[in-house]
């Protein structure tokens, strides 16, 4: 196991340590298993992405997950679980916004400094880190602390070869669409007043190989979404795209799997025969080696 897969396993393991995710998993797992099938064919993995909204809304007592405590956290965790499943074997890891799993220089990169010393971060529910190719990441580390320290060192030394996507996950589209729109404007701006700076120290999103901001929603909002509706217009031009746990609807939102093709395309280079041919075997191998995804 290399360092990137070691971090992926830790992220997924942490998901299952939370009561919210564990409780929801009891209702989700039968549906996830039925959709994926026993062979984990690539077509079934894509279909699972189109079914995430339906799966999310199912709980053991039949209530809408958005109406129970921790619904937003559960959606965020489900998206994290799914995208990492799709990215097994790649150099991209989807990390929940948890300090213990994020290299320090990455946290510095997404910081916004106000009035000289007040530091604020976006609502970065998830961070997708695409690591640079580096010999140091091809081995396993004995402790998580050593792993994060080495990853931080590698990113610092190859900062311009590193890619980062902030993924904001919200259950409600109508009430939250303006938030990613405004944060994306902040990160993409070419300048503010002298009292506002994006990035801390030497680390800036502008210096990365690629930096994008994406939005992933269920959505639980009632009513239909059309290309000219206000919530859709607000996120239409996000640098990282707009997604939901349903089939792609032209002009409205793409299925959540499409975030990979748009933002982490370089990770596909890690699959010798192509993602569509390799992913099934990689998931089976992961299941046989500790089964962190609980499949």
Average pLDDT over residues 85-95: 97
Instruction: Please count the other Cβ atoms lying within 10 Å of the Cβ belonging to residue 272.
Output: 8
Residue 69 pLDDT greater than 70, yes or no: no
Helix (H, G, I), strand (E, B) or coil at 96: strand
β-strands 210-217, 163-170: how paired? parallel
Q: How is 213-267 classified by DSSP, letter by letter? A: EEEEE----SS---TTSHHHHHHTT-TT-EEESS--BTTTBEETTHHHHHH-GGG
**pLDDT of res. 66:** 44
Q: Assign residue 234 a region: left if phi > 0, alpha if psi is -120 to 50, beta otherwise?
A: alpha
Q: d(Cα 47, Cα 65) in Å, to the nearest integer?
A: 21
Question: 54-63, 128-137, 272-281: lowest mean pLDDT where?
Answer: 54-63
Average pLDDT over residues 271-289: 96
Summary mean pLDDT of the chain: 89
Share of the chain above pLDDT 70, in %: 90
Structural tokens at position 240: 């990282």
Average pLDDT over residues 224-233: 90
**pLDDT of res. 221:** 78
**pLDDT of res. 118:** 58
Residue 211 pLDDT greater than 90, yes or no: yes
- Residues in CB range of 162: below 8 A, 6 or more apart: 129, 130, 131, 132, 155, 208, 209
Q: d(Cα 78, Cα 74) in Å, to the nearest integer?
A: 6
**pLDDT of res. 175:** 79
Q: d(Cα 110, Cα 107) in Å, to the nearest integer?
A: 6
For the segment 239-275, what is each residue's pLDDT rounded down to a tens digit? 999 999 999 999 999 999 999 999 998 888 889 999 9
Confidence of residue 117 (pLDDT cuts 50, 70, 90): low
Helix (H, G, I), strand (E, B) or coil at 97: coil
- CA 46 vs. chain centroid, Å, equals 16
Q: d(Cα 159, Cα 145) in Å, to the nearest integer?
A: 20
What is the dihedral sign for C-alpha 183, 185, 188, 193?
negative
**pLDDT of res. 63:** 45
Confidence of residue 190 (pLDDT cuts 50, 70, 90): low
**pLDDT of res. 65:** 44
């Amino acid at each position: 196991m290399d360092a990137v897969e070691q971090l992926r396993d830790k992220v997924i393991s942490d998901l299952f340590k939370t009561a919210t995710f564990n409780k929801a998993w009891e209702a989700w797992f039968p549906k996830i298993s039925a959709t994926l099938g026993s062979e984990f064919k690539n077509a079934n993995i894509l279909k699972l992405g189109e079914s995430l909204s339906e799966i999310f809304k199912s709980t053991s007592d039949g209530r809408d997950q958005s109406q129970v405590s921790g619904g937003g956290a559960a959606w965020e965790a489900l998206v994290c679980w799914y995208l990492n499943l799709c990215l097994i074997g790649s150099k991209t890891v989807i990390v929940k916004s948890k300090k213990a799993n994020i290299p320090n220089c990455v946290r510095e990169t997404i910081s916004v400094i106000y009035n000289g010393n007040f530091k604020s971060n976006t609502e970065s529910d998830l961070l997708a880190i695409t690591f640079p190719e580096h010999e140091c990441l091809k081995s396993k580390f004995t402790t998580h602390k050593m792993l994060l320290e080495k990853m931080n060192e590698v990113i610092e030394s190859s900062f311009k070869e590193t890619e980062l996507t902030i993924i904001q996950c919200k259950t409600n589209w109508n009430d939250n669409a303006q938030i990613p729109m405004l944060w994306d404007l902040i990160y993409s701006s070419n300048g503010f007043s002298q009292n506002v700076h994006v990035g801390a120290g030497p680390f800036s999103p502008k210096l990365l190989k690629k930096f994008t901001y994406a939005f992933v929603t269920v959505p639980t909002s009632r009513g239909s979404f059309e290309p000219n509706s206000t919530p859709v217009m607000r996120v239409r031009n996000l640098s990282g795209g707009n997604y939901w746990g349903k089939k792609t609807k032209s002009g409205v939102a793409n299925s959540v799997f499409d975030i990979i093709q748009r933002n982490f395309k370089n990770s596909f280079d890690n699959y010798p025969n192509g993602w569509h041919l390799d992913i099934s075997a990689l998931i089976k191998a992961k299941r046989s080696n500790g089964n962190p995804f609980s499949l």
